Structure 1
Amino acid sequence: MDQLLNDFSPGLFVMQAVILLILILLMKKFAWKPILNSLDEREQGIQGALDAAEKARLEMKNLQADNEKALQEARIERDAMLKDAREIRTKMIAEAEDDAKEQASKIIAQAQEAIEAEKRAAVAELKNQVAVLSLEIAEKVVKDELSDKNKQMQYVEKMLQDANLN
């Protein structure tokens, strides 16, 4: 250390100090500003990327919430559509059953009317046949009764007696 103090030269020291100051000023003017600017730009870029990442995270969260909401709404709409479809199906089945019952009632009523008409026709035909048979039998009996003169006279007398009594 003694050696350093012995070799000390004030002119050299001033010259070195001036060179150091010039070097610091040149460094400040040409090197520090670009370095600090690039560091600031880098810091802003990193902050921008962090902000963008946070924004993207929030957007993803919002999109996920929107997707859940849309999915829930779709489920509700699907359930409503299924319920409507079931109601329509039930209504259609009920209407078809009512129509079938109505048709069956009409067919049964028509069949009963047809049976009643056939029954009336059969009864009328039976009455006609009975009347015809009765007339034929009466005709044969009367012919048989009136074929003999004695029987005719007895019949006339009987009718006169009946007429007198009345």
Structure 2
Amino acid sequence: MSINATLFVQAIVFLILVGFTMRFVWPPIAKALDERAQKIADGLAAAERAKSELSAANQRVERELSQARTETTARLADADRRAQAIVEEAKARATDEGNKIIAAARAEAEQQMVQAREALRAQVAALAVRGAEQILRKEVDAGVHADLLDRLKTEL
């Protein structure tokens, strides 16, 4: 055969091969490539969504942390105020108790002083009676002269 006929037959076989490839082989390959491109696009979109969700979650976390810090600061300030109020109240109670104790001690001291004065007056009256007895060289009856002795006690 001639080279032209061989070339012509080879061109026809080639065209048949190209037609067969275009009709039966190329569509599954194109479909697989399209599916692969779609999967890649879906993956990129999912990654982008995840990235935006992560950013939103980070913002929520920051807001909640800021709110928690604010609440903690407020609670600490409130606790400090309460502690100061308790301390001031304890100081006031201690001062009141101290004043009561001092007043009770003063009252007791006053009472003891009055008792001591009464005892001293009784002793002075007894000494005065003895002194008067010795001066008069006779016994003075305390029962008879009780009024006189009472006046003497009050004067002392």
Pairwise TM-score range, normalised by the shorter structure: 0.7 to 0.9
Per-residue CA deviation, residues 70-102 of structure 1 (Å, 9 max, x unaligned), is 210111111012111101210111111011101
Aligned to 1:88: 82
2:46 is the counterpart of 1:64: no
CA RMSD of aligned residues (A): 2.1
Aligned to 1:44: 38
Q: Letter of the 1:106 partner, please give it.
A: K
Structure 1 residue ranges (4+ consecutive) displaced by more than 2 angstroms after TM superposition: 15-25
Counterpart Cα distance in 2 of 1:91 and 1:16: 106
Equivalences for 1:10-159 in 2 at 5 Å? 13=8, 19-143=13-137
Counterpart Cα distance in 2 of 1:57 and 1:20: 51
Post-superposition shift, 1:142?
1.9
Post-superposition shift, 1:18?
5.4
TM-score calculated relative to the size of structure 1: 0.73
Counterpart Cα distance in 1 of 2:85 and 2:134: 72
Aligned to 1:156: none
- Among the aligned pairs, what percent are the same residue? 36
- Matched residue pairs, number? 136
Counterpart Cα distance in 2 of 1:62 and 1:95: 49
Per-residue CA deviation, residues 103-160 of structure 1 (Å, 9 max, x unaligned), is 101110111011100110111011101111111111222226xxxxxxxxxxxxxxxx
TM-score calculated relative to the size of structure 2: 0.77
Post-superposition shift, 1:29?
2.8
Structure 2: runs of 5+ lacking an equivalent: 139-156
Counterpart Cα distance in 1 of 2:134 and 2:59: 110
> Relative contact order (C-alpha < 8 Å, sep 6+): which is higher?
2
Equivalences for 1:2-13 in 2 at 5 Å? 13=8
Q: Letter of the 2:87 partner, please give it.
A: I
Larger Rg: 1
Structure 1: runs of 5+ lacking an equivalent: 1-6, 145-166
Per-residue CA deviation, residues 54-80 of structure 1 (Å, 9 max, x unaligned), is 111101111110121121011111101
Counterpart Cα distance in 2 of 1:21 and 1:98: 111
